[in-house]
Amino acid sequence: MLAKVLTVSESVHAGAREDRSGSALHDLLTTSGFEVVDHRTVPDGVEPVAGALSEMAAGFAGLLVTTGGTGFSPNDFTPEATLRVLDRLAPGLSESMRAVSPLGRLSRGVAGTAGTCLILNVPGSPSGAAESLGAVLDAIPHALDLLTGGRPH
């Protein structure tokens, strides 16, 4: 199974801070049997995130996980950017990710599909990102099978 990771952070994109949440996702995906074929960073904001998501999802059959920009900070617009790209919502996935921890209730992250790509927004903290993805990871292979009509992903 193929996966991509998009870290949304001004400071990580500028090289001023280490991408700990993106690395945590990369490690969790790899140990769960995914091949991470792309890992990028992008600054906060609707346009940069929507542009990166559109580019990364185009023609991709697999999982795309974003980390960061899902909270209440003034620059947190990852869900709004993701909604611009999605064809269909997958509310059960986002609800399950929020339910995994008490602070998950503060996440505005969304989940859904863009073509044959499943996109998940997870929080920007390493533990929040891993917990959120871990909450739905068991359902992802079946979701991708359904989404791709059984084609390789």
| Annotated domain spans of the chain | 2-6+37-148
- pLDDT tens profile 135-151: 999 999 999 999 988 76
CA distance 134 to 148: 22
The yes-or-no verdict on residue 66 having pLDDT over 80 is yes
Nearest-angstrom CA–CA distance, 76 and 36: 25
Kindly tell me if the per-residue pLDDT of 22 is higher than 90: yes
How many Cβ atoms sit within 10 Å of the Cβ of residue 39? Answer: 17
If pLDDT is split at 50, 70 and 90, which confidence band does 6 have? very high
CA dihedral defined by 62, 96, 138, 35, rounded to 10 degrees? 30
The pTM for the full model equals 0.96
Q: Please tell me the predicted confidence (pLDDT) of residue 14.
A: 85
> How many angstroms separate the CA atoms of 133 and 65, rounded?
8
| Architecture category of domain 2-6+37-148 in CATH | 3-Layer(aba) Sandwich (3.40)
Question: What's the chain's average pLDDT?
Answer: 95
Report CA 16 to chain centroid distance, whole Å. 22
Once rounded to an integer, what is the mean pLDDT over residues 41-66? 97
pLDDT at 63 over 80: yes
Q: What is the pLDDT of residues 76-132, one digit of tens each?
A: 999 999 999 999 999 999 999 999 999 888 999 999 999 999 999 999 999 999 999
